[in-house]
Structure 1
Amino acid sequence: MSLSATVPADHPKAAPRRIGVLVANLGTPDGTDYWSMRRYLNEFLSDKRVIDLPSWKWQPILQGIVLTKRPFTSGANYKTVWNNEADESPLMTITKAQVAGLRERVQEIWGDRVLVDFCMRYGNPSTESVVERMVKAGCDRILFFPLYPQYAGATSATANDQFFRALMAQKWQPAARTVSAYFDRPDYIEALAGSVEKALNGATPRKLVASYHGMPKRYLMQGDPYHCQCQKTSRLLRERLGWAPEVIDTTFQSVFGKEEWLRPYTVQHVAELAKQGITEIAVISPAFSADCIETLEEIQGEIREAFIHAGGKEFTYIPCLNAEPSHLDVLTTIIAENLGGWT
């Protein structure tokens, strides 16, 4: 007797069982206008994983001061890199390309049994909406994959938090797994090294600056492993390239507020290099899986200008791994390893 014969006629229809792979990135505003930027920044800067000040202290500052001015400046910055043809941010464009490449690879391995989709921690598509869509598509198991090579409470952890909050809304909650940081995987380091060799035509630069997104130093002292994982990624990259220790410097960018953040600050460090007579540098951003406002506008704008203004001559930015085949191969391997026992 078939299973369908035992189900009452008025029973709700159920989709065939599938496994979901949900990749997540930081997020993006829907547009560069004031209100789109304000909604995005409000969600981002209200996250206690990002700004851990008490709400009674932070929210009046955020709502009364920060969100009055910052949407205008952030919107202007986004306009310089906005994908006008698709009317979306570069992060959205690249994430879509990454997911398309992953779907092709997953289809070849598991066919229609595994569904790949993406969400953003802040903005759209929201984590909750995509989890809801996956459950309706029959996913009773979901692998959640934050696209951050190095773990940080303000990136990986808050993405996981939002994923678990989305699961709380489900009547029939799917089984769940999360992917851990992959900052020291040999295949990830190999992909990074390949991008460096391609950009520099195999030459060794006078200085390669590995610029990671910053965080308050206090978070490190409280036990966040991000700083240590960044340092290890830089060291493994240097060892794979066969360079001397002094060739690669690890720095941190995107400082916000008056609190001390992880040092050295990229914008100050590149200026100091120029003043020391190092007039040719290359910059890479190993903490980002996709180029975004922090790389396309901050590094190639503010940080480049600081270097040139201080006497620098040649500034080479090495793009993120984005949707490069080597990167997608790494991500597919990580997915396959984490689906063990489910497939």
Structure 2
Amino acid sequence: MALSVVAPFYQNGLYVNAVCKQLVASQHRFQAPPQIIIVSYHGIPLSYQTKGDPYGFQCKHTTALIRKNLALPVCNLLTTFQSRFGRQEWLKPYTEDTVIQLAKQGVKRIMVVAPGFMSDCLETIEELEHELARIFRYSFRMFQNS
């Protein structure tokens, strides 16, 4: 069995256009458009970036291309990182912390997209669709009632 490695495609126009097309199509499922779109990527330990791993830059560059393609202001399309574990520091901002801050600011409608996953991943679906949604709803209620 041969192993082949795919070259980085974070700035490939076909990839960025496909993400944008899916993002726009997904917005039509909601009654009202999201106030904020979070583009969440799987995190890596910060030490990897310190040693020269370009992944964090590539993620932020992809988000910038999505933002440009959709003509969205910086404040409406955010880059975050998810799925951290252990005690070491990971790439920031963390998706969970960002969602809590948005709830604290009174944001009612967010949309989270994970363009780094090329196929459905049960861990990511559970983490974003279920856990993160629960955290956002809970945080929103907590901050609105305080």
Query: TM-score, with normalisation over the residues of structure 2?
Result: 0.89
Query: Does residue 232 in structure 1 map to residue 61 in structure 2?
Result: yes
* C-alpha distance in structure 2 between counterparts of 1:193 and 1:254, whole Å: 23
* C-alpha distance in structure 2 between counterparts of 1:178 and 1:263, whole Å: 27
SS of 2:60's equivalent in the other structure is: helix
Q: Which residue of 2 aligns with 1:206?
A: 35
Query: Does residue 276 in structure 1 map to residue 110 in structure 2?
Result: no
Query: Does residue 183 in structure 1 map to residue 10 in structure 2?
Result: yes
Alpha-carbon deviation of 1:181?
A: 1.2
Alpha-carbon deviation of 1:291?
A: 1.4
Alpha-carbon deviation of 1:305?
A: 1.0
Alpha-carbon deviation of 1:205?
A: 2.8
Q: Is the 8 A contact 1:267 1:303 kept in 2?
A: yes
Q: Is the 8 A contact 2:33 2:109 kept in 1?
A: no
- Which structure has the greater CA radius of gyration? 1
SS of 1:310's equivalent in the other structure is: helix
SS of 1:311's equivalent in the other structure is: helix
Alpha-carbon deviation of 1:296?
A: 1.2
Q: Is the 8 A contact 2:67 2:77 kept in 1?
A: yes
Q: Relative CO higher for 1 or 2, CA cutoff 8 Å, sep ≥ 6? A: 2
1:264 corresponds to which of 85, 89, 93: 93
State the 4+ residue runs in structure 1 displaced beyond 2 angstroms.
201-205
Alpha-carbon deviation of 1:178?
A: 3.2
Q: Report the AA paired with residue 220 of structure 1.
A: Q
Q: Report the AA paired with residue 262 of structure 1.
A: L
**What's the RMSD between the two structures over aligned residues?**
1.7
**Mapping of residues 120-199 of structure 1, within 5 Å:** 131=1, 163=3, 178-199=5-26
Runs of at least 5 residues in structure 1 that lack an aligned partner in the other structure: 1-130, 132-141, 143-162, 164-176, 313-343
Runs of at least 5 residues in structure 2 that lack an aligned partner in the other structure: 142-146
Higher strand share: 1
